[in-house]
């Protein structure tokens, strides 16, 4: 993960690279491309634990009814912080 809450995934299904390279040749907009196969990369925003800021297995687009360890009014917790409660 390069920045907090962001992961990168290559659009090429045969490539498992998660390390992007910025490419700003497209009209000044920054796009991320794969270092291995030069394909575009998808940016995936992931939820961080509201207690320890550790990455959780959930995308920010995952509905709270489909998650484990979610506390309404507080947010998403990782499994370890959930077990400490």
Nearest to 44 by CA among 3, 72, 85: 3
What's the confidence (pLDDT) of residue 1? 41
Confidence grade of residue 56 (pLDDT, cut at 50, 70, 90): very high
pLDDT digits (tens, 9 = 90+) for 6-34: 788 888 889 888 888 877 666 656 678 88
Confidence grade of residue 4 (pLDDT, cut at 50, 70, 90): low
What letter would DSSP give residue 40? B
Query: 36, 17 in Cβ contact below 8 A?
Result: yes
Contacts of 51 (CB under 8 A, 6+ apart): 77, 78, 81
Token pair, residue 19, equals 């390390």
3-state secondary structure of 48: strand
């Amino acid at each position: 993960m390069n920045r907090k809450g962001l992961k990168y995934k290559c659009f090429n299904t045969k490539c498992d690279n998660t390390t992007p390279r910025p490419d700003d040749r497209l009209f000044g907009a920054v796009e991320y491309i794969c270092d291995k196969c030069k394909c575009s990369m998808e940016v995936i925003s992931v939820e961080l634990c509201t207690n320890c800021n550790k990455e959780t297995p959930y995308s920010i687009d995952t509905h709270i009814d489909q998650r484990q360890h979610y506390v309404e009014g507080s947010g998403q917790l990782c499994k370890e912080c959930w077990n400490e409660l």
